[in-house]
Homo-oligomer: A and B are copies of this chain.
């Protein structure tokens, strides 16, 4: 494993160490002729919309975690690689379909797949990505494929819950259940796939799943914070993009739980499903005022910290060398402190 620490920020170790293998694996799985294959390569950022090579890739968090765990628990990077690629492609599949569902026109600053080829073909593109993802995992092992399928199932069920939440009130516990599925499932799967490839015993696999759960919650709640307070936080100003989109993220779910009946009624009206129209600025400001008055932000930040502490405790239980534990601690800390 190449160390990339010299002169680089600490956080890069896990995310950079396996980048080349992961990109080669993705490129191999998505090779081939035809309009759908081009769409898949476009979506993962290795081609632009004219079919020419591009470098618009994401950070490959999930497959990097798979390979890191496989590497340090069992020197099993080669065995884990197809499952790591499969996991990244499941994530990619979910984003193609999510963008259709949420009517998001852009993804990482580029046009979303469905805006290029229409909804019908974008559904196919997602379906193909998912199929190739599981085929890739099956190259690692049947157990890896089963793990990735269970994670896909949970993720899709979580997405189903999230869509259903749009039209009703949501308890905080339901929200946590939803994010454990929608975003947590793939993160838990990352740790578990690494353990499967490394031949980890049941106890270590359970510890890996627990670690993934804590990291997943911290990651998603941080995401929810960024969706409301975002980068402009450094200026003390809420950007509120998730409010404009009426996304019932954790701060909003907690807010509903804390306000009196009159405010709850107005909140319900502001969050009533309204296709094709963002929340008016005046309502956004009012929601931000309510958030500030109830300090849900502080609660969410405490929750992130709680899950980070859990993650540290769980990480300590794994039979990792000190340097590997340190690298993982750095990555987890980065995910929780990131500003975008």
Contacts and interface: CB of A to CB of B under 8 A. Distances in A.
A34 B157 contact: yes
Q: Is the interface of A mostly helix, strand, loop or mixed?
A: helix
Interface in A115-148: 119-121, 123-128, 130-132, 134-135, 138, 142, 145-146
Interface stretch (A159-167, A189-197, A231-239): A159-167
A150 B135 contact: yes
Interface string A288-320: 000000000000000000000000000000000
Interface string A29-60: 00000111000000000000000000000000
Nearest to A37: B157
A121 B156 contact: no
A111 to B, nearest CB: 19
Contacts of A36: 156-157, 160
A259 interface: no
Contacts of A101: 119-120, 123-124
Interface of A: 34-36, 97, 100-102, 119-121, 123-128, 130-132, 134-135, 138, 142, 145-146, 149-150, 152-153, 156-157, 159-161, 163-164
28 contacts: A34-B157, A35-B160, A35-B164, A97-B124, A100-B119, A101-B119, A101-B123, A101-B124, A102-B120, A119-B119, A120-B163, A121-B160, A121-B163, A121-B164, A123-B123, A123-B126, A125-B160, A127-B127, A127-B130, A128-B153, A128-B157, A130-B131, A134-B145, A135-B146, A138-B146, A138-B149, A142-B142, A145-B145
